[in-house]
């Protein structure tokens, strides 16, 4: 989580005396079993050119056949965004030549997309910030090109069509984001949402989410939009943020020097933090969109929409509310936990295992987060080592006073290596605290005998001598005495022995 990166980007444009206007286009790769227009497997990482057929290879005479689940996924996303699902939408051909596009046109949607409107809330605690969505439409992915390395012997570009025809939703925001930080939050929230919805694995490394950004600057207060530049293939959340910052700097420099921003398409190289111009306006494409004659109009029935509505999972915002209202968590905890649905799921299992909500939250946000970070574990990997039920058991030990807060942390540390039951671990390692008076009394007697002086001082009213004696007792028990019990026994003994 590059939250730090995010914050230092809070408002770069403003620092430079400008207002940034940013719109994001995100391509969401859908997690269907088969491709959008053929029954080839939609699978990442297979041997090149093995998930292919006449349709996704664009062989002469082949025709597209629409995958119903992909349509359902678009409806699900629309419902989550509060957007309009159009009963009837049209597939269109986007015509341009590129080697990894088998037909040299992409089946997409143009002037009649399946989804329009809706909002994505990127607000933080207490301050909702709904970003208006322009549209979402269905389209097919291209194959993958492997371009010759700069230095390296091969001259050709190699093409793999396994990805060709994989279903995508292109989600286009209105130009309503004001900073790289907002773009960062938009993408983070969107990623959470689509993973909760189960329509994609959201894995940006695998290209499951791919982002393009439109950026323009204007003077604060101006209402007209400046000339925009489009940054393509921002394929990590970090790249989105850095790329936009770089573009804001670039445009501010041009405008600051009295120049004009030229409409263009840029590529951002996140490793070297450089933007390179890919295309200028003169070479802008003419995509010649027209209705796809091989596919009927896409019709979505009321029943299909209801089915998706019924299958709708709890959305992140709803979960935050439940964590606060039903589990009584502080707003901060609820926010952090719900921000990652896997973490939230784990947390809920810890609570279900018998831990108090706040205690469970402390363990998950504290020790669990730390341990996972140190070991680079995913939630799944952590759960494999420390099942939620075991963490719940540990929380209960602490509650029962069997282990102190500090010792509990030691037990937790031990649980990472030892699959045993927490109480067993605590006992085996002597981490259980001593609360049994009969076990502590002899020690108390010993200490009073060994330190008559302080005992005398206490009786003559010097309260601070009590602290010394208690310290001795704790040392003698290596800190395992239950502090409360130890205090009571010591007083009791001092009074008793004090009576003539």
Partner 1 sequence: MTEHWKRSAGDLARDVTAGRVGAAEVLDAHRAQADRWDPAVHALLARDDERARRTASGKLQGPLAGVPFVAKDNLCTRGLRTTCGSRILEPYVPPYDATVIARLAAAGAVLYAKANCDEFAMGSSTENSAFGPSRNPYDTERVPGGSSGGSAVATATGMSAFSLGSETGGSVRQPASFTNLVGLKPTYGRLSRYGLVAFGSSLDQVGVFARSVADCALVFSVMAGPDENDMTTRPDGAFALEGLDLSAAGGKGLTVGVPRNILSEGLHPEVARAQTRAEEALGKAGVRVKEVHLVPPAACVATYYLLATAEASSNLARFDGVRYGFRAQPADDLLSLYTKTRGQGFGPEVTRRILLGTFALSAGYYDAYYRKALQARRRIRADLLAALSGVDALLLPTAPTPAFRLGEKAMDPLAMYLSDIFTIGANLAGVPALSVPCGFTADGLPVGAQLVGPALGEGTLFRLGAALEGALGGERRWPELVS
Partner 2 sequence: MAIDRDTVRHVALLARLELSEEEIERYARELSAVLDYVAQLDALGLEDEEPLAQVNETFPPARPDHARPAPITREEALSQAPASDGTYFLVPPVVEYLEP
> Footprint of partner 1 on this chain (CB under 8 A)?
54, 57-66, 93, 95, 97, 99, 102-105, 157, 159, 286, 288, 290, 293-296
135 makes contact with partner 2 (CB under 8 A):
no
Quickly count: other Cβ atoms within 10 Å of residue 470's Cβ. Answer: 18
C-beta of 292: minimal distance to partner 1 in Å?
8
Site string for Mg ion, 127-166 (x = CB under 5 A): ----------------------------------------
* 302-325 core/surface letters (b: 16 or more CB in 10 A; e: else): eebbeebeeeeeebbeebbebbbe
Residue 433 site contact among partner 1, partner 2, Mg ion, none (CB < 5 to 8 Å, cut-off depends on kind): none
C-beta of 71: minimal distance to Mg ion in Å?
17
C-beta of 37: minimal distance to Zn ion in Å?
8
Q: Which of 1, 15, 54, 311 binds partner 2 (CB under 8 A)?
A: 54
56 makes contact with Zn ion (CB under 5 A):
yes
Find the part of the chain contacting Zn ion (CB under 5 A) among 48-56, 337-345, 361-369, 416-424. 48-56
DSSP 154: -
139 makes contact with partner 2 (CB under 8 A):
yes
Residue 34 site contact among Zn ion, partner 2, Mg ion, none (CB < 5 to 8 Å, cut-off depends on kind): partner 2
Query: Whose Cβ is closer to Zn ion: residue 34's or residue 251's?
Result: 34
Find the part of the chain contacting partner 2 (CB under 8 A) among 153-161, 219-227, 249-257, 401-409. 153-161
Tell me if 53 sits within 8 A of 42, measured CB to CB: no
Pairing of strands 274-280, 264-269: antiparallel
Subset of residues 285 to 314 that bind Zn ion, contact rule: CB under 5 A: none
Residue 32 site contact among partner 2, partner 1, Zn ion, none (CB < 5 to 8 Å, cut-off depends on kind): partner 2
Q: In 3D, which of 307, 292, 305, 295 has the Cα closest to residue 86?
A: 305
Query: Whose Cβ is closer to Zn ion: residue 106's or residue 404's?
Result: 106
Q: Which of 121, 141, 181, 348 binds partner 2 (CB under 8 A)?
A: 141
C-beta of 55: minimal distance to partner 1 in Å?
8
Subset of residues 274 to 303 that bind partner 2, contact rule: CB under 8 A: 278-279, 286, 288, 290-291, 293, 296-297
Distance CA 121, CA 129 (A): 5
Query: Whose Cβ is closer to Zn ion: residue 38's or residue 71's?
Result: 38
Angle of the 452-459 helix axis to the 437-450 helix axis, nearest 10: 100
Query: Whose Cβ is closer to partner 2: residue 52's or residue 395's?
Result: 52
Q: Which of 145, 280, 381, 406 binds partner 2 (CB under 8 A)?
A: 145
- Pair of tokens at residue 361: 């939250």
Distance CA 159, CA 145 (A): 5
- Pair of tokens at residue 358: 């706040």
170 makes contact with Mg ion (CB under 5 A):
yes
344 makes contact with Zn ion (CB under 5 A):
no
The 8 Å CB, 24+ separation contacts for 313-322 are 313/196, 313/197, 313/198, 314/196, 315/80, 315/193, 315/196, 316/189, 316/192, 316/193, 316/196, 316/341, 317/121, 319/344
- How far apart are the two ends of the chain, measured CA to CA in Å? 68
Distance CA 489, CA 439 (A): 11
Quickly count: other Cβ atoms within 10 Å of residue 208's Cβ. Answer: 22
97 makes contact with partner 2 (CB under 8 A):
yes
Q: Which of 26, 40, 193, 252 binds partner 2 (CB under 8 A)?
A: 40
If binding means CB under 5 A, how many residues of this protein chain bind Zn ion?
Answer: 5
Q: In 3D, which of 169, 204, 205, 234 has the Cα closest to residue 22?
A: 234
57 makes contact with partner 2 (CB under 8 A):
yes
Tell me if 131 sits within 8 A of 119, measured CB to CB: yes
At 338 the three-state DSSP class reads helix
Tell me if 274 sits within 8 A of 242, measured CB to CB: no
The answer for 261, left when phi > 0, alpha when psi is -120 to 50, beta otherwise, is: beta
Q: Which residues bind Zn ion (CB under 5 A)?
A: 38, 40, 53, 55-56
Q: Which residues bind Mg ion (CB under 5 A)?
A: 170
| Contact footprint for partner 2 (CB under 8 A) | 27, 32-34, 39-43, 47-54, 57, 65-71, 94, 96-99, 101, 106, 108, 139-142, 145-148, 155-161, 168, 170, 210, 232-233, 267, 278-279, 286, 288, 290-291, 293, 296-297
């Amino acid at each position: 989580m590059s939250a730090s990166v995010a914050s230092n980007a809070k408002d770069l444009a403003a620092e430079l005396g400008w207002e940034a206007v940013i719109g994001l286009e995100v391509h969401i790769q859908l997690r269907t079993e088969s491709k959008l227009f053929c029954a080839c497997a939609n699978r990442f990482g297979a041997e090149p050119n093995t998930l292919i057929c006449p349709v996704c290879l664009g062989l002469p005479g082949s025709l597209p056949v629409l995958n119903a689940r992909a349509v359902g996924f678009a409806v699900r996303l629309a419902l989550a965004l509060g957007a309009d699902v159009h009963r009837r939408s049209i597939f269109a051909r986007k015509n341009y030549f590129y080697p990894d596009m088998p037909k040299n046109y992409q089946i997409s949607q143009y002037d009649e997309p399946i989804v329009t409107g809706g909002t994505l809330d990127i607000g933080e605690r207490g301050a909702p910030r709904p970003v208006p969505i322009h549209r979402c439409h269905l389209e097919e992915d291209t194959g993958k090109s492997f371009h010759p390395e700069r230095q390296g012997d091969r001259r050709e570009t190699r093409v793999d069509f396994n990805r060709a025809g994989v279903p995508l939703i292109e989600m286009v925001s209105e130009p309503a984001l004001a900073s790289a930080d907002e773009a960062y939050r938009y993408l983070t929230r969107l990623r959470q949402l689509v993973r909760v919805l189960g329509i994609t694995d959201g894995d940006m490394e695998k290209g499951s989410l791919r982002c393009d950004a439109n950026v323009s600057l204007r003077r604060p207060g101006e209402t007209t939009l400046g000339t925009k530049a489009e940054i393509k293939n921002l394929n990590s959340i970090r790249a989105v943020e850095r790329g936009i910052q770089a573009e804001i700097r670039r445009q501010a420099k041009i405008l600051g020097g009295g120049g004009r921003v030229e409409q263009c398409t840029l590529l951002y190289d996140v490793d070297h933090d450089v933007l390179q111009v890919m295309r200028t306006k003169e070479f802008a494409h003419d995509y010649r969109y027209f209705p796809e004659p091989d596919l009927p109009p896409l019709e979505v029935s009321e029943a299909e929409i209801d089915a998706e509505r019924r299958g709708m999972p709890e959305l992140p915002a709803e979960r935050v509310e439940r964590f606060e209202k039903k589990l009584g968590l502080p707003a901060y905890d609820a926010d952090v936990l719900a921000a990652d649905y896997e973490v939230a799921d784990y947390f809920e299992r810890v609570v279900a295992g018998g831990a108090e909500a706040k205690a469970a939250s402390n363990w998950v946000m504290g020790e669990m987060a730390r341990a996972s970070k140190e070991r680079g574990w995913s939630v799944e990997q952590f759960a494999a080592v420390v099942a939620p039920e075991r963490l719940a058991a540990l929380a209960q030990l602490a509650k029962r006073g069997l282990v102190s807060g500090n010792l509990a942390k030691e037990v937790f540390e031990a649980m990472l290596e030892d699959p045993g039951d927490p109480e067993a671990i605590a006992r085996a390692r002597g981490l259980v605290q001593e609360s049994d008076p009969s076990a502590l009394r002899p020690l108390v007697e010993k200490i009073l005998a060994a330190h008559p002086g302080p005992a005398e001082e206490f009786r003559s009213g010097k309260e601070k001598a009590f602290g010394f004696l208690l310290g001795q007792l704790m040392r003698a028990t290596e800190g395992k005495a239950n502090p409360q019990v130890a205090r009571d026994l010591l007083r009791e003994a001092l009074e008793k022995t004090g009576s003539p």
